[in-house]
Amino acid sequence: MHHHTQALAIAERLAADLAPGTLGIGLFGSVAKGTDHPHSDIDLFLAVDADPGTEVRQVEGRMVTLARKSAADLEGGLAHPWEAVTAVGAWRTARILHDPDGRMADLQARARAWTWESIGAEADRWAARELVGLAEEVHKTHGMLALDRPRAAAANRAILVLQLGYALAVAGRLVCDSENDLWDAVAAAEGPDWAAAWDTAAGVLPADHETGCRAALALYRIAADRLAHHLDAGDRAIVDTARDLTI
């Protein structure tokens, strides 16, 4: 596990160099959990008062991602449904490298005690809004197939594949350690019909272009049926119209 030892050493050295001027530094992801491979990036989150943003460095042949976030943005990972799916799990397994005021430890403790009940109503509303918004991608995918515009259809198909996964992860109250774990978790939670459609639409299973696009439309149909009870009358009309195009 030389690569893991090297990654930890890089993270700890960078944390020591970056500590001045930060409110806290945490190591997240596979390196923090000890499940990294030689090409895993090293994810460091820095709590800062100013100049948030993301920087990527190359250190000793390893890619290092430095995500600078305000304390409010870090806390938002526990409050926003679209972030909580992966942020809660990431915080639970994070390795805290610099924490002068204890705020990183506090966030980790809150993540370990966190449940979906704290934002349940907002989670359902968000998943429903995502479904409504993605109705446009259904119309586009269907239309671009009819117009024989394969690249445009493929782009909209990809949006459906990725974003519907997040919507169902929130609706299913999933918590994943990282986005890499999300797709398997959703497939396991939603069952074989979803898994087969997702694998076909995403290219895991061999399929021609049109079949892949039809599979992405099938994902929307599954999600629409799954989330129907969260829709009001106006939203249901939008979703039902899109759903009719997936048959």
Give me the domain span that covers residue 213: 118-244
Q: Of 91, 114, 137, which residue sits at a domain end? A: 114
Task: Give the mean pLDDT of 86-105.
Answer: 95
Same domain, residue pair 31 and 140? no
pLDDT over 90, % of the chain = 88
- Report which secondary-structure segment, H or E, holds 241: helix 233-244
Same domain, residue pair 191 and 83? no
Same domain, residue pair 125 and 42? no
Crossing angle of helices 150-171 and 192-202, in 10° steps, is 150
Q: How many domains does the chain have?
A: 2
Same domain, residue pair 177 and 79? no
pLDDT of res. 38: 86
In this prediction the pTM is 0.91
Q: Give the CATH number of the domain where residue 43 resides.
A: 3.30.460.10
Please tell me which residue, 217 or 120, carries the higher pLDDT value: 217
pLDDT of res. 4: 87
Q: In the structure, what pLDDT confidence band is assigned to residue 193 with cuts at 50, 70 and 90? A: very high
Q: In the structure, what pLDDT confidence band is assigned to residue 1 with cuts at 50, 70 and 90? A: low
pLDDT of res. 71: 86
Same domain, residue pair 75 and 165? no
Same domain, residue pair 92 and 125? no
Q: What is the pLDDT of residues 65-75, one digit of tens each?
A: 999 999 889 98
Distance between CA atoms of 124 and 210, rounded to whole angstroms? 32
Q: What is the pLDDT of residues 142-177, one digit of tens each?
A: 999 999 999 999 999 999 999 999 999 999 999 999
Same domain, residue pair 37 and 72? yes
Same domain, residue pair 213 and 126? yes
Same domain, residue pair 66 and 147? no
pLDDT of res. 51: 87
Instruction: List C-alpha distances in Å: 183 to 12, 25, 36.
Output: 30, 28, 18
Q: Of 59, 92, 114, which residue sits at a domain end? A: 114
Q: What is the pLDDT of residues 44-56, one digit of tens each?
A: 999 999 889 999 9
Count of Cβ atoms closer than 10 Å to residue 5 Cβ? 9
pLDDT at 212 over 70: yes
Minimal CA–CA distance to 97: which of 45, 52, 53? Answer: 45
Q: Of 57, 84, 114, which residue sits at a domain end? A: 114
Same domain, residue pair 91 and 122? no
Backbone dihedral angles phi then psi of residue 28, each to the nearest 5 degrees: -120, 170
Same domain, residue pair 107 and 161? no
Mean of pLDDT over the chain: 95
Same domain, residue pair 66 and 123? no
Distance between CA atoms of 121 and 127, rounded to whole angstroms? 10
Count of Cβ atoms closer than 10 Å to residue 215 Cβ? 22
